[in-house]
Amino acid sequence: MSAKGSAAKEQMNFNFGSEETAVEQQQDVAQKPKTKRRGRKSKQSVAATAESMATKQRDISISEFFAKNRHLLGFDNPRKALLTAVKEAVDNALDACEEGHILPSIRVTIEQVENYDNRFVLKVTDNGPGIVKKQVPNIFARLLYGSKFHRLKMSRGQQGIGISAAGMYGLITTGEPVQVVSRTNKNKPAYHCHVQIDTSKNRPDIVYDEECDFELPTGTAVSITMEGRYLRGKQSVDEYIEQTAMANPHVSFVYNAPDGNTYEFPRKTDELPFMPVEIKPHPYGVELGMLYKMARDTKGKSLPEFLNKDFSRVSKPLSRKICKNAKLLSVKPSKITLQQAEKLHKEIGQTKIMAPPTDCIGPIGEENLIEGLERVVDADFYASCTRKPAVYRGNPFIIEAALAYGFKGETDDSDDDDKQPIMQLKRIANRVPLLYQQSAGAVFKSVVETNWRNYGLSQSKGALPRGPLVLMVHIASVWVPFTSESKEAIAHYPEIIKEIKLAVQECGRKLGTHIRKQRRIKQELKKQSYIKTYLPPIGEALQEILSLKDSEVEDLVGKLADVLEKSRKF
Ligand SMILES: Nc1ncnc2c1ncn2[C@@H]1O[C@H](COP(=O)(O)OP(=O)(O)OP(=O)(O)O)[C@@H](O)[C@H]1O
């Protein structure tokens, strides 16, 4: 064997372990000194072989994976788990009502189970269109099963994991199945079902089912018994409900909290929000591998037909132009090669294509944003801004911002900036409040990078500004780019950050004008009160100098006070 050949062999042995090396390795192990074990014989780890490992290699069901990694879905501790379960059920209830063009009326009830400190029954009832009997088990006891993942349309849910994960968490922590009652037609009975997930198969087991009555003509009630912890305050269920009410003025909420309190949020508007429609993907957002797969799976008979039918904003003439420029006019989509797909992909990138349609996303709207804020914050000043639609990775999105400044009932005469509270930042995605990981996402980054000193607030570097201020930022998109499956923070896409900054700056400018005016008024009032304090002694001095009568002095002081009043600039 040549030197080159033997070097190559050595290399191979090193990489893949030939028989020789395996024997050498065994000798190596045999030569290693045996460690002395004291006391009872403990089991020794036996070296695995490829064959012994092969006996253990098998499929992992998605539910087994998420049962082990429940923190990825927001079930990392009992307090957060309770919030996540409420959120999943309420988000679904709202999505279902809006898809059915029904003004949502939602009731959330959380009751502590007797004799258990940490066990709760959560029940969420909606007046939506209901769920057909056949789908109930899959929806509540099978992960990655849903109607929203494969479409491009704004909705709260998108992954198809939420409610079944909450049911699975309930089952794991208490052994209790999910209970569902749903009615789809007022002339028919409701369907009642107890269902639990078989985690090894990711399939539902129906424990019990029957026909029954339901309090509403159509709708769904889901009950989950689960381990949880109820604490009020920041990142609580209470805060989530309050912020959901703020971002959804068209929803009527009744919330029965575990401490016996009932909170009601009557709807502020009888108008349903803008109803988004489904769109096709935009060619700019499609990556090469996906384009290749889509072309081979398409029903289109030619490449231009594929581009025209499967994408938005590609007209027939434009689709022909793209294929012609890429010299692919005669290629059948089902026979396209990877190299041809790459040429097509390149040509798409070089062609000017209109931005995607935006009727797939609905903003809350400037008026509704303020109405929503008024629902929860009684302030002196409100401002809002809805930006024009923009696009990230081919997905259209809209950014909105609204702020409330100067909380009524809280006297704040302090000129000391350090005594001012830190701004309260509320992040909303597709009308759902995000309560965790505030500083991890694009909203926080954009807000701290905005120079709030320009708008009359104090701000330390890299921090939120100070002031009696609530700022709400909403992103509406067909696909919100969350940083994880638990949907807590928005990824740092530069296009999104830019839009957030522009929306926040517009509200900031309006706030700046208000704050400057307020400061002028304050200074003016201070000046006037100062002068008013000295009016009587001035009168007395004038009386002495000019020998005036008492009535003349009174008249003079009155006139001076009038002049002062009329000179007010506000
Ligand atoms: N209250 C309800 N009324 C009608 N349909 C519902 C209701 N709850 C759930 N669904 C249906 O069940 C599907 C699965 O819901 P699930 O919460 O698991 O996922 P999702 O809402 O699609 O997405 P995500 O995991 O992001 O929340 C939904 O897509 C919807 O079609």
| Domain locations in the chain as residue ranges | 65-265, 283-350, 366-516, 521-566
* Ligand 1 touching residue 164 (CB < 6 A): yes
Residue 512 near residue 520, CB atoms below 8 Å: no
pLDDT at 9 over 90: no
- Residue 549 pLDDT level (bands cut at 50, 70, 90): confident
- Residue 41 pLDDT level (bands cut at 50, 70, 90): low
Query: 377 Cβ partners below 8 Å, 6+ apart?
Result: 404, 407, 470
As a whole number of angstroms, the distance between CA 495 and CA 271 comes to 31
As a whole number of angstroms, the distance between CA 161 and CA 140 comes to 9
As a whole number of angstroms, the distance between CA 235 and CA 230 comes to 11
Q: Which of 459, 77, 71, 106 is nearest to 265 (CA)?
A: 106
Write out the H or E segment, with its range, that includes residue 395: strand 395-407
What is the SS3 assignment for 117?
Answer: coil
Q: Which two tokens stand for residue 226?
A: 């689960």
Residue 174 near residue 162, CB atoms below 8 Å: no
More confident residue, 69 or 394: 69
Average pLDDT over residues 277-281: 89
Backbone angles phi, psi at 120, to 5 degrees: -135, 155
- Residue 335 pLDDT level (bands cut at 50, 70, 90): very high
Please give the pLDDT value at position 29: 46
What is the domain class of 65-265 according to CATH?
alpha beta
Q: Give the end-to-end CA distance of the chain in Å, rounded to a whole number.
A: 100
Q: Is 147 exposed, middle or buried (0-12, 13-18, 19+ CB in 10 A)?
A: middle
Q: Is 542 exposed, middle or buried (0-12, 13-18, 19+ CB in 10 A)?
A: middle
CA atoms within 13 A on the CB side of 325: 15
As a whole number of angstroms, the distance between CA 128 and CA 113 comes to 28
Average pLDDT over residues 379-399: 92
More confident residue, 310 or 550: 310
Please give the pLDDT value at position 36: 53
User: Which residues, listed in sequence order, are joined to residue 526 by a DSSP beta bridge?
Assistant: none
Residue 216 near residue 224, CB atoms below 8 Å: no
Q: Which of 241, 253, 300, 209 is nearest to 103 (CA)?
A: 253
Q: Which two tokens stand for residue 355?
A: 């931005």
Average pLDDT over residues 504-518: 96
Cα-to-centroid distance, 140 and ligand 1 (Å): 8
* Ligand 1 touching residue 93 (CB < 6 A): yes
Average pLDDT over residues 342-360: 92
Query: 480 Cβ partners below 8 Å, 6+ apart?
Result: 158, 397, 429, 430, 487, 490
Average pLDDT over residues 116-141: 97
Residue 486: DSSP 8-state = T
Is 228 among the annotated ligand-binding positions? no
CA distances from 98 to 90, 93, 274, 477 (A): 12, 9, 9, 16
As a whole number of angstroms, the distance between CA 439 and CA 459 comes to 16
* Ligand 1 touching residue 96 (CB < 6 A): yes
Q: Which of 424, 73, 371, 33 is nearest to 235 (CA)?
A: 424
Q: Which of 409, 408, 428, 410 is nearest to 419 (CA)?
A: 410
Residue 158 near residue 433, CB atoms below 8 Å: no
Q: Which two tokens stand for residue 359?
A: 């009727």
As a whole number of angstroms, the distance between CA 532 and CA 527 comes to 9
Please give the pLDDT value at position 7: 41
The verdict on domain 366-516 having CATH code 3.30.230.10 is yes
Residue 329 near residue 320, CB atoms below 8 Å: yes
Please give the pLDDT value at position 42: 66
- Residue 568 pLDDT level (bands cut at 50, 70, 90): low
**Percent of the chain with pLDDT strictly greater than 70:** 90
Is 408 among the annotated ligand-binding positions? no
Would strands 219-227 and 395-407 be described as parallel, antiparallel, or unpaired? unpaired
Cα-to-centroid distance, 414 and ligand 1 (Å): 49
pLDDT at 458 over 80: yes
Please give the pLDDT value at position 358: 82
Q: Which of 327, 277, 281 is nearest to 307 (CA)?
A: 281
Cα-to-centroid distance, 183 and ligand 1 (Å): 16
pLDDT at 33 over 60: no
At the second CATH level, the architecture of 283-350 is Orthogonal Bundle (1.10)
Is 135 among the annotated ligand-binding positions? no
pLDDT at 6 over 50: no
Query: 75-112: per-residue pLDDT in tens?
Result: 999 999 999 999 999 999 999 999 999 999 999 999 99
Residue 387 near residue 502, CB atoms below 8 Å: yes
Please give the pLDDT value at position 250: 93
Query: 262-275: per-residue pLDDT in tens?
Result: 999 999 889 998 88
Query: 112 Cβ partners below 8 Å, 6+ apart?
Result: 119, 120, 230, 258
Assembly ipTM: 0.98
Highest mean pLDDT among 27-31, 268-272, 324-328: 324-328
Q: Which of 215-224, 227-236, 549-558 is predicted least confidently?
A: 549-558
Residue nearest to atom 19 of ligand 1 (CA): 160
As a whole number of angstroms, the distance between CA 156 and CA 428 comes to 10
Q: Which two tokens stand for residue 155?
A: 């909705």
Q: Which atom of ligand 1 is nearest to the CA of 128?
A: 3
Is 61 among the annotated ligand-binding positions? no
Q: What is the value of pTM for the model shown?
A: 0.80
Q: Which two tokens stand for residue 374?
A: 């008024």
Average pLDDT over residues 165-176: 96
Cα-to-centroid distance, 270 and ligand 1 (Å): 24
Backbone angles phi, psi at 255, to 5 degrees: -125, 115
Residue 488 near residue 436, CB atoms below 8 Å: yes
pLDDT at 10 over 50: no
- Residue 8 pLDDT level (bands cut at 50, 70, 90): very low
- Residue 18 pLDDT level (bands cut at 50, 70, 90): very low
Is 321 among the annotated ligand-binding positions? no
As a whole number of angstroms, the distance between CA 457 and CA 261 comes to 37
- Residue 150 pLDDT level (bands cut at 50, 70, 90): confident
The overall average pLDDT reported for the chain is 89
Residue 144 near residue 92, CB atoms below 8 Å: no
Rg (CA), the chain: 33
Please give the pLDDT value at position 283: 92
Please give the pLDDT value at position 357: 86
* Ligand 1 touching residue 430 (CB < 6 A): no
Average pLDDT over residues 223-247: 95
Q: Which of 29-33, 322-326, 380-384, 558-562 is predicted least confidently?
A: 29-33
* Ligand 1 touching residue 161 (CB < 6 A): yes
Q: Which two tokens stand for residue 556?
A: 């003079």
Average pLDDT over residues 107-136: 97
Average pLDDT over residues 317-325: 97
- Residue 410 pLDDT level (bands cut at 50, 70, 90): low
Is 161 among the annotated ligand-binding positions? yes
Please give the pLDDT value at position 411: 53
Q: Which two tokens stand for residue 216?
A: 């509403």
Cα-to-centroid distance, 90 and ligand 1 (Å): 10
Backbone angles phi, psi at 179, to 5 degrees: -110, 130
Give start and end residues of each alpha helix (H) in 2-120: 3-16, 19-31, 50-56, 62-68, 78-99
Cα-to-centroid distance, 161 and ligand 1 (Å): 8
As a whole number of angstroms, the distance between CA 153 and CA 395 comes to 10
Q: What is the DSSP string of 167-187?
A: HHHHHHHH-PPEEEEEES-TT
As a whole number of angstroms, the distance between CA 141 and CA 367 comes to 40
Please give the pLDDT value at position 30: 46
